């Protein structure tokens, strides 16, 4: 028996497995340590100084006080309306534009794709002045339209849907066309059901991004009736001091909805990321 055919010792493999496990444990500890600090701080009574004797008392009073002070019921309603509306519009515009760029052969298709990709590197803050002027001209300042329309279309969503549509065999569309289906029927009844992972991915990215958005509500609205979750969180920050238990409780309240939504759609999200590759 030659040396190359000798069985390898399992000891290095076992050692490497333990090293990987230790690295994963360290990484998880780094990620979850700040979250644990936030949760523990939020369980202190309102006004308690972290580390003092009063902070040794555990209660949920900070959550009740934060919910009332931040008026989170109204903030949740506003953020939900804006996030769902923007998400629906982005899915619609991204599906239509992505399908056109993936399947239609027209002059300037590459140029349109380059413009879509170029829009990804332009920060929204650079466009705030012309967008504000357009919204003011349309009398949309201090309305839901000011929070929804500026991000109704997104270059990332268009590119994501285009890339996923390219992974779907053209033969499926040809078979549907032979059965008498129109382009609209092929898109809505064939392509979109098959693109469910990409749609869920786009939904999660857009909804979470809009839920966490502070810039648009801060610039385009001043009415308290339109206060979103992020504006509600700002009300807990004082100029010179903060009530940390109250602020951490508000952070937990604002974070729970997006965490639950991500946990529900994480399987489709991972599938959409894994199957959406770079394809010409």
Cross-strand pairs, 237: 242
Q: What pLDDT is attached to residue 271?
A: 63
Nearest to 154 by CA among 105, 70, 96, 200: 96
Q: Is the whole-model pTM more than 0.85?
A: no
φ and ψ at residue 62, rounded to 5 degrees? -65, -35
Q: What confidence tens digit (pLDDT) does each residue in 91-125 have?
A: 999 999 999 999 888 888 889 989 998 888 888 88
Write down how long the chain is. Answer: 280
Contact of 165 with 108, CB cutoff 8 Å? no
Contact of 201 with 149, CB cutoff 8 Å? no
Give the Cα separation of 223 and 234 in Å (integer): 15
Torsion angle (degrees, nearest 10) of CA 219, 221, 224, 228: -70
- Distance between alpha carbon 144 and the CA centroid of its chain, in Å? 20
Q: What pLDDT is attached to residue 1?
A: 45
Contact of 252 with 63, CB cutoff 8 Å? yes
Give the Cα separation of 207 and 161 in Å (integer): 16
pLDDT < 50 stretches in the chain? 1, 3, 278
**Cα dihedral sign, 169-170-171-177:** positive
Give the Cα separation of 49 and 75 in Å (integer): 28
**Statement: 61-275 belongs to CATH 1.20.1250.20:** no
Torsion angle (degrees, nearest 10) of CA 37, 40, 45, 50: -40
Nearest to 157 by CA among 201, 212, 112: 201
């Amino acid at each position: 028996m030659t040396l190359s055919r000798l069985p390898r010792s399992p000891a290095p493999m076992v050692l490497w497995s333990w090293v990987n496990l230790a690295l994963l444990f360290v990484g998880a500890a780094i990620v979850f340590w700040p979250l644990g600090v936030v949760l523990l701080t939020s369980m202190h009574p309102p006004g308690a100084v972290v580390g003092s004797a009063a902070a040794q008392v555990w209660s949920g009073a900070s959550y009740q006080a934060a919910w009332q002070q931040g008026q989170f019921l109204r903030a949740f309603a506003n953020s939900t309306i804006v996030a769902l509306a923007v998400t629906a519009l982005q899915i619609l515009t991204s599906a239509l534009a992505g399908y056109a760029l993936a399947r239609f052969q027209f002059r300037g298709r590459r140029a349109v794709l380059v413009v879509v990709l170029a829009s990804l590197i332009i920060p929204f803050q650079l466009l705030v002045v012309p967008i504000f002027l357009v919204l003011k001209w349309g009398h949309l300042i201090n309305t839901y339209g000011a929070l929804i329309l500026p991000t109704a279309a997104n270059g990332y969503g268009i590119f994501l849907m285009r890339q996923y549509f390219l992974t779907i065999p053209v033969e499926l569309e040809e078979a549907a066309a032979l059965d008498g289906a129109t382009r609209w029927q092929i898109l809505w009844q064939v392509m979109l059901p098959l693109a469910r992972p990409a749609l869920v991915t786009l939904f999660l990215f857009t909804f979470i991004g809009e839920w966490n958005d502070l810039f648009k509500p801060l610039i385009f609205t001043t009415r308290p009736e339109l206060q979103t979750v992020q504006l509600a969180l700002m009300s807990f920050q004082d100029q010179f001091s903060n009530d940390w238990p109250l602020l951490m409780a508000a952070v937990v309240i604002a974070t729970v909805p997006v965490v639950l939504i991500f946990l529900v759609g994480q399987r489709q999200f991972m599938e959409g990321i894994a199957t959406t590759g770079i394809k010409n």
